[in-house]
Copies of this chain bind each other. A is one copy, B any other.
Amino acid sequence: MAQVEIITIGDEILIGQIVDTNSAWMATQLNRAGFEIIQITTVHDYRDHILESLSMALQRADVVLFTGGIGPTNDDITKQTLCEFFDTKLIFDETVLLNIVNLFSTRPNFVINELTKAQAMVPENCTVIQNTLGTAPVTWFEKAGKIIVSMPGVPYEMKQMMSSEIIPRLKNQFQTPSLLHKTVQVYGYSESVLALKIADWESELPEDISLAYLPNYGIVKLRLSGLKDDMLELEFSMNQQIDKLSQLLGKAIVAYEDIPVEQFVGNLLKSKGLMVATAESCTGGNIARLFTSLPGSSEFYKGSVVAYGNDIKTKVLQVTPDSLGEFGAVSQTVVEQMALNVRKLLNSEVAIATSGIAGPTGGTIDKPVGTIWIAVCYANYVVSKEFRFGALREQNIQRTSQAAMLMLKEII
């Protein structure tokens, strides 16, 4: 399989100002196209360091993809540095200037100044690929059977150029195998307990299928990866393994896709024609936020009463003051009332309610920080459960949200 390295040039990542989301996107696309990413490197706009990282990458990889460092300002030096590496010089390319003029014709307020014109200076011995969304062209070099590409770091320009030009050209140049990933999400096991539980199955996996464990709050994702010339055969073999796993783990497998909990629970609600409402105390609107982050969530999500104070619990959610007084807000009685009453109030088929002590303060000896009650109901059928998650506020909020959505999945 052809091997690719990504080199990202830019101070803003190294000082933590931005998160490098480009590399993950590129890796996903390249992987799907049948390339293996063997290293991602981020370096400053320093000549020596760029040269060193390129030399090292060429020792390991067939393809080196640079992003960033080709803007019009003085701090960007990638183009000059690549000229030096390939022992060539910058020449004026009229087609690049024409592309820039076209681009600016739709932006009345932009002026083509000296800095913009300088973008049309390109290394002499490379293939120039016009950037349809920005002023910096893509430059494509070949040397001793290896390919080096420099492209813009602006995410939407990079994505457009990768999809329409760079990946198709790379696929032309290299033989790419069939690569397949399948993910199974398991709930209720810690990573190490799960590993023991499936140890025999794991040891009997065919050689061409590899396994990775990816824990994420209460869920462990198991990712199978395979590489084969015959895609149908690989898919068949992988499905066989997943069937075996399914027999082994049963209901602990909560999803056979690599999508977030809110999405597979949302899909299930939609397919069953059910609407859900939520009454959130300790999760503070996080479940609402997760569901509504999905486009089209109005097809299964009614809304939420975020009942942070006790007065809302009684006034809006009709929790009886007696129950609050006798058992406290973090109790089975109260959380069940919240679920049943929010369902009626918002006129939905099913509902979720959470009440707990997210921390860092508010814990008692009986109910330490991390004590959480969750209730889910379907019509008047209600199920509730107590959890003890731990001391961290953010983790308590996330784990409670995940556990609550999975409890809902169980009853529908």
Contact = CB atoms under 8 A, between A and B. Distances in A.
Interface residues of A, number: 109
A29 B17 CA distance: 11
B72 A113 contact: no
A405 to B, nearest CB: 14
A127 interface: no
A116 interface: yes
B302 A285 contact: no
A308 interface: yes
A316 interface: yes
A165 interface: no
A305 B305 contact: yes
Contact of A17 (B30, B41, B258, B278): B258
A388 interface: yes
Contact of A106 (B108, B278, B288, B388): B388
Interface stretch (A79-87, A169-177, A389-397): A389-397
A213 interface: yes
A111 interface: yes
Interface stretch (A6-14, A229-237, A249-257, A373-381): A6-14
Interface in A298-323: 298, 301-309, 311-312, 315-316
Interface string A261-298: 00000000000000000101001111111011101111
A249 to B, nearest CB: 16
A25 interface: yes
A389 to B, nearest CB: 9
Given A40-B41, A41-B41, A44-B38, A110 B193 contact: yes
Contacts of A107: 388
B390 A192 contact: no
A241 interface: no
A349 to B, nearest CB: 13
Nearest to A104: B190
Contacts of A287: 285
Interface in A1-51: 11-21, 23-31, 37-44, 49
Contacts of A208: none
B211 A75 contact: yes
Number of copies of this kind of chain in the complex? 2
A278 B280 CA distance: 14
Nearest to A119: B192
A365 interface: no
A83 to B, nearest CB: 21
A53 to B, nearest CB: 8
A347 B73 CA distance: 46
Nearest to A103: B390
B302 A292 contact: no
A71 B394 CA distance: 22
A346 interface: yes
Contact of A285 (B116, B304, B311, B312): B304
Contacts of A215: 71, 154
A29 B304 CA distance: 36
A147 interface: no
Given A284-B288, A288-B289, A297-B308, 14 more contacts: A13-B23, A19-B24, A71-B213, A72-B191, A107-B388, A113-B192, A154-B215, A278-B306, A284-B291, A286-B292, A292-B308, A292-B358, A293-B397, A295-B361
Which 3 A-B pairs give the minimum distances between C-beta atoms? A284-B292, A285-B288, A16-B28
